[in-house]
């Protein structure tokens, strides 16, 4: 059965609604990629630019998963910041990963410019603190990022932040001028078109049902096969149980988003005058921004194990009305959810299951930028430039406490602790 995009704001405003064909018959290529999200398409485009023949297989539509449903925010660094990486895995690895921490956003901007992608890019992202502890952590984050060469940052006290966000919730913030936001589905579709223009092939409605491993791997769908020199698994939270050894050390998590009806121009510009995107500093954070057609897009929350609450609007309306009381009762035009993939370390899982079987997944909420970095590193590795890919591949893939059966309650219990800590400001 064909699967189409969820009824999101992004799907309703997509630049490219062309349906690609399903795979039929037998095909050959240098590299077969499973999954047409940001990891798959970013890798495919880098590889096609390097001259490889690449085929991408997508179970539903391009961007069906998290890549076409997320908040569209370009958040720098990783879900665990560089200082934590240094503490846990050593200064040398921390330095190597730190040197790449801001590259993903630069790749996105380069893609938009080079291929003239209409992704509604808007520069600038704000981290907003609810209490003094969070504000102190933002100041420390700025110092850390300065150490790795990122100097386009502004510390904002409560008064300065109020000039950027028309909300009384926050005590301060950090403005990252190297952050920003985009229409993620249109970015992805533009990158897919660029890949196809270089000779790449994308097949939609082509769920992979089996992979014959070995020295001559073959990828099977219901109606076709792809024989490839190498395979990249890029399904992330939507890979399912195709590769059990990947599913056992990660967990799908759901997040939800609403988009209001278009707001009056004066009201829209008064809420976020600079047009920046915003995320707060809570463990289970909220994030929001204004779209190009003046809708407030507001997301937040996490459902461990994936899926959505019974009513996304009822779940999120109190949160966005608390942030902006001036929007109380505003009509909601779109409400949707999607799953991202969480790892215990909150760092990406990257590597090779076999010499010709690659994988990249588990960006833990920082997927928009990190997937673009990973596409470049995968292409580097397949051309014999191994150092940067191998740095990520060296990170341990830790199992969740309690295994697959108990990982959800254990993780939820940890989140409850951190949520209480955020509420108490300690």
Q: Which tens digit of pLDDT belongs to each residue from 244-284?
A: 888 878 888 889 999 999 999 999 999 999 999 999 999 88
The predicted-structure confidence for 106-164, as pLDDT tens digits, reads as follows 999 999 999 999 999 999 999 999 999 999 999 999 999 999 999 999 999 999 999 99
| HEC string for 265-287 | HHHHHHHCCCCCEEEECCCCCEE
In this prediction, residues 4-17 reach a mean pLDDT of 96
**Whole-number percent of the chain with pLDDT over 70:** 93
Residue 76 lies in a domain: no
Report the mean per-residue pLDDT for the chain: 92
Residue 56's alpha-carbon distances to 43, 140, 142, 379, in angstroms, are 10, 41, 39, 15
Mark whether 260 and 376 lie in a shared domain: no
pLDDT band of 417, cuts 50, 70, 90: very low
pLDDT band of 411, cuts 50, 70, 90: very low
Print the domain residue range for 296. 122-181+251-342+402-426
In this prediction, residues 319-345 reach a mean pLDDT of 95
Mark whether 327 and 276 lie in a shared domain: yes
Residue 81 lies in a domain: no
Looking at residue 424, its pLDDT comes to: 45
Looking at residue 297, its pLDDT comes to: 98
Looking at residue 385, its pLDDT comes to: 97
Q: How many residues does the chain have?
A: 426
Residue 351 lies in a domain: yes
Q: 10: which residues sit within 8 A by CB, 6+ positions away? A: 63, 68, 69, 72, 183, 184, 185, 186
Residue 111 lies in a domain: no
Mark whether 18 and 149 lie in a shared domain: no
- Residue 301 belongs to a domain with what CATH number? 3.30.9.10
Looking at residue 159, its pLDDT comes to: 98
Residue 30 lies in a domain: yes
Q: In this structure, what are the phi and psi dihedrals at residue 361, rounded to the nearest 5 degrees?
A: -165, 175
Say how many domains are in the chain. 2
User: Alpha carbon 41 to chain centroid distance?
Assistant: 13
Q: In this structure, what are the phi and psi dihedrals at residue 396, rounded to the nearest 5 degrees?
A: -70, 145
Residue 330 lies in a domain: yes
- Residue 45 belongs to a domain with what CATH number? 3.50.50.60
Mark whether 302 and 423 lie in a shared domain: yes
Mark whether 225 and 269 lie in a shared domain: no
Mark whether 284 and 317 lie in a shared domain: yes
Looking at residue 246, its pLDDT comes to: 85
Please tell me the pTM assigned to this model: 0.93
Looking at residue 304, its pLDDT comes to: 73
Looking at residue 247, its pLDDT comes to: 80
Q: Which residues pair with 297 in a beta bridge?
A: 259, 289
Q: In this structure, what are the phi and psi dihedrals at residue 181, rounded to the nearest 5 degrees?
A: -150, 160
In this prediction, residues 355-378 reach a mean pLDDT of 96
């Amino acid at each position: 059965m064909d699967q189409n995009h969820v009824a999101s704001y992004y799907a309703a405003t997509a630049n490219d609604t062309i349906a690609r064909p399903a795979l039929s018959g037998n095909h050959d290529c240098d590299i077969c990629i499973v999954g047409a999200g940001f990891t798959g398409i970013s890798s495919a485009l880098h590889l096609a630019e390097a001259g490889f023949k690449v085929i991408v297989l997508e179970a539903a539509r391009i961007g069906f998963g998290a890549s076409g449903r997320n908040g569209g925010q370009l958040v720098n660094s990783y879900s665990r910041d560089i200082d934590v990486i240094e503490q846990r895995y050593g200064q040398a690895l921390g330095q190597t990963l730190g040197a790449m921490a801001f590259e993903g956003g630069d790749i996105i901007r380069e893609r938009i410019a080079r291929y003239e992608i209409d992704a509604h890019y808007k520069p600038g992202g704000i981290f907003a603190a609810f209490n003094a502890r969070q504000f102190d952590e933002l100041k420390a984050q700025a110092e850390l990022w300065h150490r790795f060469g990122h100097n386009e940052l502004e510390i904002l006290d409560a008064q300065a932040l109020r000039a950027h966000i028309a909300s009384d919730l926050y005590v301060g913030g950090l403005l990252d001028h190297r952050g920003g936001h985009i229409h993620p589905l249109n970015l992805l579709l533009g990158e897919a078109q660029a890949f196809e223009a270089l000779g790449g092939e994308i097949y939609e409605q082509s769920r992979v049902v089996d992979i014959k491993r070995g020295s001559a791997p073959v990828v099977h769908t219901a109606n076709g096969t792809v024989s490839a020199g190498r395979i990249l698994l890029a399904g992330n939270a939507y890979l399912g149980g195709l590769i059990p050894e990947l599913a056992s050390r990660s967990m799908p998590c759901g997040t939800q988003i609403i988009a209001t009806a278009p707001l009056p121009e004066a009201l829209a510009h008064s809420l976020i005058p600079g047009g920046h995107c915003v995320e707060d500093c809570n463990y289970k954070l909220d994030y929001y921004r204004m779209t190009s057609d003046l809708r407030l897009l507001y997301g937040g929350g996490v459902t461990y194990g994936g899926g959505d609450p019974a009513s996304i609007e009822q779940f999120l309306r109190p949160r966005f009305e608390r942030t902006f009381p001036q929007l109380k009762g505003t009509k909601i035009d779109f409400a949707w959810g999607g799953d991202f993939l969480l790892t215990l370390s909150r760092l990406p899982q990257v590597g090779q299951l076999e010499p010709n079987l690659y994988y990249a997944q588990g960006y833990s909420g920082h997927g928009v930028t990190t997937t673009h970095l990973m596409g470049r590193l995968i292409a580097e590795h397949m051309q014999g430039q191994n150092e940067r890919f191998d740095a990520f591949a060296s990170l341990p893939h830790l199992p969740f406490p309690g295994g697959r059966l108990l990982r959800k309650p254990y993780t939820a219990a940890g989140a409850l602790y951190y949520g209480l800590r955020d509420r108490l400001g300690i």
